Amino acid sequence: MPNDILISPSILSADFAALGQAVRDIDSAGADMIHVDVMDGHYVPNITIGPAVVKALRPHSAKTFDVHLMITPADPMIGAFVDAGSDIITVHPDAGPHLHRTLQSIKAHGIKAGVALNPATSPRVLDHVMDSLDMILVMSVNPGFGGQSFIPSQLAKIAELRAMIDATGRDIILEVDGGVNPQTAQDCIKAGANALVAGSAVFKGAGTYSENIAALRGSQT
């Protein structure tokens, strides 16, 4: 069913001068999660927001805050983003020396932990941490900027990760971020994704936010 697909609009594509209103709007439009892209200008070539902004946005929605840390090192900032109100924190395998330790640190705060895989990163990096994961995020663009085009080679990775998740018997969210629109969403869902991050397709596409979110859900056939 289309409603089984979680939609997590990325506020990276929202009006930064009115982020609180944007969060309220996508919440009421039917978003399942609020995707927060945190960039440090070091791990990726852009700078976005920090924990103070996440904390300021937290009162605007009770929905899950899906916080993607594109920063290195990630470990020193985990506590601050937890305190700011994150519900899921996703890190990159190369954002610190010990991925397992980083995931355990996130879980120790009582929230969910995820790992994001860049286009050239193999799923095999997750072989020995699957039992620590609540989410796997497939980057279908190179991280750092919104509005990029979907990289088709990532569909095979999504399918591989779906098989890995199913083999564990665990309820791990398989999310895709980058170039997701009603057309590419269909391919991602068929490959096994059950969560979609969309920025431009929600905030800049034709129609209202609710129509744009419904179009992403309706991509499932």
pLDDT reported for residue 78: 98
Cβ 37 vs Cβ 200: under 8 Å: no
Q: Which two tokens stand for residue 149?
A: 């085009």
Q: Which two tokens stand for residue 53?
A: 């902004």
Rounded CA separation 216/188 (Å)? 11
Residues spanned by the domain of 178: 2-217
Give the residue among 171, 154, 47, 152 at the shortest CA–CA distance from 114. Answer: 171
Q: What are phi and psi of 105, to 5 degrees?
A: -65, -45
Residue 118 sits in a domain of what CATH number?
3.20.20.70
* DSSP 3-state of 57: helix
Instruction: Kindly calculate the radius of gyration of the chain based on its CA atoms and give it in whole angstroms.
Output: 16
Q: Length of the chain, please?
A: 221
pLDDT reported for residue 2: 43
pLDDT reported for residue 210: 95
pLDDT reported for residue 218: 80
Beta bridge partners of 66: 35, 88
Task: Dump pLDDT digits (tens) for 77-95.
Answer: 999 999 999 999 999 999 9
- Whether the ω angle into residue 73 lies within 30 degrees of 0, i.e. cis, is yes
pLDDT reported for residue 204: 87
pTM, two decimals, is 0.95
Rounded CA separation 140/128 (Å)? 23
- Give the distance from CA 60 to its chain's centroid: 19
How many of the other CB atoms lie within 10 Å of CB of 163? 10
CA distances from 125 to 106, 154, 158 (A): 18, 16, 14
Total tally of structural domains belonging to the chain: 1
Residues tagged active-site: 37, 177
pLDDT reported for residue 147: 73
Task: Dump pLDDT digits (tens) for 148-185.
Answer: 899 999 999 999 999 999 999 999 999 999 999 999 99
Continuous H helices in 12-77: 19-28, 51-57
pLDDT reported for residue 74: 97
* Stretches in the chain below the pLDDT threshold 70: 1-3, 219-221
